[in-house]
Amino acid sequence: MQEQYHFSQLETKWQKDWERQELDQVAEDFEREKYYLLEMFPYPSGHLHMGHVRNYSIGDVVARFKKMEGYNVLHPMGWDSFGLPAENAAIKNRVPAALWTKDNIVNMKKQLKTMGLSYDWEREVATSDPDYYKWTQWLFLEFYKKGLAYKKKAAVNWCPSCATVLANEQVVEGACERCETLVDKKDLEQWFFKITDYADRLLEDLQQLPGWPEKVKIMQENWIGRSEGAEICFKTEAGHDLKVFTTRPDTIFGVSYMVLAPEHPLVSELVADTEYEEPVHAFIKKVKSMTNIERAETEKEGLFIGAYAINPLSGDKIPIWVANYVLMDYGTGMVMGVPAHDQRDFEFATKFQLPIKVVIQPDGDLLEGNKLTEAFPAEGRLVNSGRYDGLPNEQAIQKITRDLEQKGLGEKQIQYRLRDWLISRQRYWGTPIPIVYCEKCGVVPVPAKDLPVILPIQVAFKPSGESPLKTNGEFLNCTCPNCGGEATRETDTMDTFVDSSWYFLRYTDAKNAVAPFDREKADYWMNVDQYIGGVEHAILHLMYARFFTKVLFDLKLTSAQEPFQNLLTQGMVLKDGAKMSKSKGNVVSPEEIIEQYGADTARLFILFAAPPERDLEWNEKGVEGCFRFLNRVWRLSYYYHEKIKNISPGEVTKNELDKELLRSIHGAIKKVTDDVRLRFNFNTAISAIMELINTLQKYRDHTNVKSENLPLVRFGLENTVLLLAPFAPHIADELWSNLGKKTSVHLEAWPKYDEKALELAEVTMVVQINGKVRERLNFPKDLPEPQLKELVLETEKIKQLLQGKEITKFIIVPNKLINLVV
Ligand code: ANZ
Ligand code: ZN
């Protein structure tokens, strides 16, 4: 054994050795219980950052721990490799996006390998690989057959000056990010997935996920946004239907105006050839240039449009307005304005001096419309509501809805905030949508046997904003699979969230050439037992992956109904209180840290510095501390190396010091096991290992050659190495082989603790007389007071000190301290 801890040399050695032994490759084993551990796969930017290091260090501990516990562990890794950065690099540097991506993958894989992560690289996938996107396309076609993929016109952000479609993020204050021209909404044909068909299941099945953070489930719930209410039909004076969705039919007598979304087609009709036509159209134009988010954030604006509606129950004549706070794509795009009981309506009515009529009255002080300072949205009884007066409002909701139903002017309705998923992207670097347009046959899906529709290598991009693939004649022009005539291909590509919605299934059978995956294999591995990643994916990615899993279940491709059984959302890595980022210049490079201290230290620090869900503050001192700790482990092993070489481990104890060591070993096993298995509290698990090393150190300092209990020391060191293995895998394997072991520590069983050894635990208690420390004594843990008293008073030193004195008080801090007041 070398005297020094040469981390760099030994880390490389073990990484090679693990690869040679194929230690991390797994196969289905139907006799054994499986455990599927997954970290969110990265976008191959080319550089590993600390967020990755944290994510993968956490995952690797769990994977290695579960393996030692005896599970058949699937722990794969791959690349979410389609997306804009590659396309931008291609435009900027005139390199094919495919090449740029491949280089980055090679780089990042190399970096990942230096971390010593236990991935089964045989299952590596890259979503931009034709072997992968072939199946993304195949799945698209299955969705299409089921009516779950469809095309419709949808409003997109359009910059008239750049002649391009813009993503929402590229629109800043209603203008194009590049040229600052006001952005239009343009209706273009787009592909959608019908996720709204699954809204109820996506919502209900959240209840089957107790292993998900509550906050993530709430975000999903809000995103789905289920509202129960009614659709109510008002009529204009001229007899047009004005259908509104409301959650509060009970407030219908309080309606003082109607509002239409400015884009609503009825608006133009109602103002045609009136004095309102011009100002209303100007208003529409202004509002249309904003995104929904911007609309929600700006001041409420609106205009009366010169028409009136009739309230179907009260008969009131009410003015019709347009306003920016009513959205076209929710409900019916129309609202009945009830200022007394809806805050948005209250603000609007106050600004435009519309009447505020109270129709729900709480117990207590009478509300008055002209004295309200905000809306009253809560429960109460109906007032000013004709024959419904006096009803509790919950009952009134039912009754009013029923009465309107009978008149054919309303019905119960459930609304979702969730919209169908727009998957078309006018981009190059993505999965081509496998559809062909033929003049004779119309929209023709590419037959499965012709997949994949290969994405051509392209380096020329005209900045037209249209799909770059439109400019590629070879790709664009094809023959119709149906009639053999001339046809053109769909040139939009898929949102990259489609690619990442099923990769966890591909891992279960990554090389399958005849199907996306084999059902039996997928059924063995699914669900993912533990998914780990950033909370920024709490909504979209997780929702889409859940949606896909449910569709694939319905297609009978898998028995899984949920993809991820348990979810851990890791916190951020901060430096000086801020998220590490290039622009802030506070980035710590993982490569440098690994070079300077080794991967084991880097992993240990990142796991030790904070529990996984909390944010973690980078701290060079902490890194050094972990490095010193590993050196301490090394030195201790070195000190005993020769002595215990030919000795078997043993648990026989001969004296108090031995007993303390034995207890400490079992205590550490228990603590680490529980912390990792039950709570993922890796930081406290690591402190327990550190404590064990302290005890071993103390043991070494307090024993001489004759009293050294070497079998016990060996027992202690072997267990330390076993406990350390998931956290610092390289040094653990090196120390394991230094202990004379012939096979990897990562093939060992996780150590078990002996409850008995723990029960007999002793504690060291301080004995004070009048507050002054006089003695330290060992007692069995949790000894009852009378026995403790007896034992203290029997000790020689205390007896002497107490001679001739009377004890007035006997104070005990359990397991810590005894104070005798005399
Ligand atoms: C009258 C009313 C009275 C309302 C009241 C609420 C309280 P959630 O719960 O989010 O589904 N609304 C309906 N369609 C809208 C649209 N396209 N744009 C903006 N607002 C719209 O919200 C449902 C409520 O949001 C509906 O119920 C409607 O206002 C408004 F005391 O109708 B309510
Ligand atoms: Zn055809």
- Amino acid occupying residue 15: Q
Is 467 near ligand 1, meaning CB less than 6 Å away? no
pLDDT in the model for residue 760: 63
Q: Are 302 and 323 in contact (CB under 8 A)?
A: yes
Taking the centre of ligand 1 as the mean of its atom positions, its distance from the CA of residue 375, in whole angstroms, is 13
Ligand 1: residue whose CA is nearest its atom 32:
246
3-state secondary structure of 752: coil
pLDDT in the model for residue 168: 67
Closest-approaching ligand to the CA atom of 484: 2
**For the CA of 255, the nearest atom of ligand 1:** 1
Is 226 near ligand 1, meaning CB less than 6 Å away? no
pLDDT in the model for residue 92: 85
Taking the centre of ligand 2 as the mean of its atom positions, its distance from the CA of residue 352, in whole angstroms, is 58
Taking the centre of ligand 2 as the mean of its atom positions, its distance from the CA of residue 653, in whole angstroms, is 86
Is 74 near ligand 1, meaning CB less than 6 Å away? no
Is 327 near ligand 1, meaning CB less than 6 Å away? yes
Q: Please tell me the distance from the alpha carbon of residue 295 to that of residue 344, in angstroms, as a whole number.
A: 13
Angle, helices 682-702 vs 620-644, to 10°: value is 50
3-state secondary structure of 558: coil
3-state secondary structure of 358: coil
Q: Please tell me the distance from the alpha carbon of residue 473 to that of residue 732, in angstroms, as a whole number.
A: 58
Mutate to test the pocket of ligand 1, among 203, 246, 251, 372 (most ligand atoms within 8 A of CB): 246
SS3 per residue for 635-651: HHHHHHHHHHCCCCCCC
Ligand 1: residue whose CA is nearest its atom 9:
227
Closest-approaching ligand to the CA atom of 262: 1
What angle (nearest 5°) sits at the alpha carbon of residue 666, between those of residues 661 and 667? 90
Question: For the chain, what is the radius of gyration of the CA atoms?
Answer: 35
- Amino acid occupying residue 339: P
**For the CA of 341, the nearest atom of ligand 1:** 31
Mutate to test the pocket of ligand 1, among 203, 243, 247 (most ligand atoms within 8 A of CB): 247
Taking the centre of ligand 1 as the mean of its atom positions, its distance from the CA of residue 248, in whole angstroms, is 8
SS3 per residue for 73-113: EECCCEECCCCHHHHHHHHHHCCCHHHHHHHHHHHHHHHHH
pLDDT in the model for residue 90: 83
Q: What are residue 785's DSSP bridge partners?
A: none
pLDDT in the model for residue 781: 75
Structure token pair of residue 103: 């280089």
Ligand 1: residue whose CA is nearest its atom 29:
246
Taking the centre of ligand 2 as the mean of its atom positions, its distance from the CA of residue 471, in whole angstroms, is 22
Phi-psi region at 815: left, alpha or beta (left = phi > 0; alpha = psi -120 to 50): left
Ligand 1: residue whose CA is nearest its atom 20:
326
Q: Are 648 and 686 in contact (CB under 8 A)?
A: no
Taking the centre of ligand 2 as the mean of its atom positions, its distance from the CA of residue 442, in whole angstroms, is 7
pLDDT in the model for residue 269: 94
Q: Report DSSP state, residue 392.
A: B
Q: Please tell me the distance from the alpha carbon of residue 271 to that of residue 261, in angstroms, as a whole number.
A: 14
Q: Please tell me the distance from the alpha carbon of residue 546 to that of residue 811, in angstroms, as a whole number.
A: 59
Q: Are 637 and 698 in contact (CB under 8 A)?
A: no
Mutate to test the pocket of ligand 1, among 245, 347, 372, 404 (most ligand atoms within 8 A of CB): 245
The secondary structure of the chain in percent helix, strand, coil, rounded to multiples of 5, reads 45, 20, 35
Structure token pair of residue 489: 């291909």
For residue 74, report the phi and psi dihedrals to the nearest 5 degrees.
-100, 120
Taking the centre of ligand 1 as the mean of its atom positions, its distance from the CA of residue 416, in whole angstroms, is 12
Mutate to test the pocket of ligand 1, among 248, 361, 404 (most ligand atoms within 8 A of CB): 248
Taking the centre of ligand 1 as the mean of its atom positions, its distance from the CA of residue 692, in whole angstroms, is 61
Taking the centre of ligand 1 as the mean of its atom positions, its distance from the CA of residue 271, in whole angstroms, is 24
Is 393 near ligand 1, meaning CB less than 6 Å away? no
Taking the centre of ligand 2 as the mean of its atom positions, its distance from the CA of residue 152, in whole angstroms, is 21
Contacts of 381 (CB under 8 A, 6+ apart): 360, 361, 389, 390, 391, 392, 393
Ligand 1: residue whose CA is nearest its atom 27:
246
Q: Please tell me the distance from the alpha carbon of residue 714 to that of residue 411, in angstroms, as a whole number.
A: 77
Q: Please tell me the distance from the alpha carbon of residue 226 to that of residue 192, in angstroms, as a whole number.
A: 20
The strand ranges marked E within 237-323 are 241-246, 257-260, 302-310, 317-323
Closest-approaching ligand to the CA atom of 380: 1
Using the Cα atoms of residue 697, residue 702, residue 706 and residue 708 in order, give the sign of their dihedral: negative
pLDDT in the model for residue 761: 66
What angle (nearest 5°) sits at the alpha carbon of residue 229, between those of residues 225 and 231? 115
How many other CB atoms sit within 10 Å of the CB of residue 139?
Answer: 22
Q: Could you tell me which of 716, 564, 645 has the C-alpha nearest to residue 211?
A: 564
Structure token pair of residue 194: 């019908």
Taking the centre of ligand 1 as the mean of its atom positions, its distance from the CA of residue 412, in whole angstroms, is 14
Taking the centre of ligand 2 as the mean of its atom positions, its distance from the CA of residue 480, in whole angstroms, is 5
Q: What's the number of CA atoms in the CB half-sphere (13 Å) around residue 463?
A: 8
pLDDT in the model for residue 463: 57
3-state secondary structure of 818: strand
Q: Please tell me the distance from the alpha carbon of residue 476 to that of residue 487, in angstroms, as a whole number.
A: 8
Residue with token string 């996938």 = 125
Is 251 near ligand 1, meaning CB less than 6 Å away? yes
Q: Please tell me the distance from the alpha carbon of residue 481 to that of residue 741, in angstroms, as a whole number.
A: 63
Domains along the chain with CATH numbers = 31-149+191-209+419-570 (3.40.50.620), 227-415 (3.90.740.10), 619-758 (1.10.730.10), 762-821 (3.10.20.590)
Structure token pair of residue 154: 């949808």
Is 341 near ligand 1, meaning CB less than 6 Å away? yes
Ligand 1: residue whose CA is nearest its atom 8:
227
Taking the centre of ligand 2 as the mean of its atom positions, its distance from the CA of residue 189, in whole angstroms, is 20
Low-confidence residues of the chain, pLDDT below 50? none
Is 342 near ligand 1, meaning CB less than 6 Å away? yes
User: Which helix (H) or strand (E) covers residue 231, if one does?
Assistant: strand 226-236
Whole-structure pTM value: 0.86
User: Which helix (H) or strand (E) covers residue 623, if one does?
Assistant: helix 620-644
Is 326 near ligand 1, meaning CB less than 6 Å away? yes
Q: Please tell me the distance from the alpha carbon of residue 284 to that of residue 268, in angstroms, as a whole number.
A: 10
Taking the centre of ligand 1 as the mean of its atom positions, its distance from the CA of residue 226, in whole angstroms, is 12
Q: Please tell me the distance from the alpha carbon of residue 423 to that of residue 195, in angstroms, as a whole number.
A: 11
Taking the centre of ligand 1 as the mean of its atom positions, its distance from the CA of residue 327, in whole angstroms, is 10
pLDDT in the model for residue 186: 82
Angle, helices 590-597 vs 97-114, to 10°: value is 30
**For the CA of 325, the nearest atom of ligand 1:** 19
Q: Please tell me the distance from the alpha carbon of residue 580 to that of residue 573, in angstroms, as a whole number.
A: 7
Ligand 1: residue whose CA is nearest its atom 28:
246
Q: Could you tell me which of 683, 680, 653, 648 has the C-alpha nearest to residue 666?
A: 653
Ligand 1: residue whose CA is nearest its atom 14:
331
User: Which helix (H) or strand (E) covers residue 393, if one does?
Assistant: helix 393-406
3-state secondary structure of 359: coil
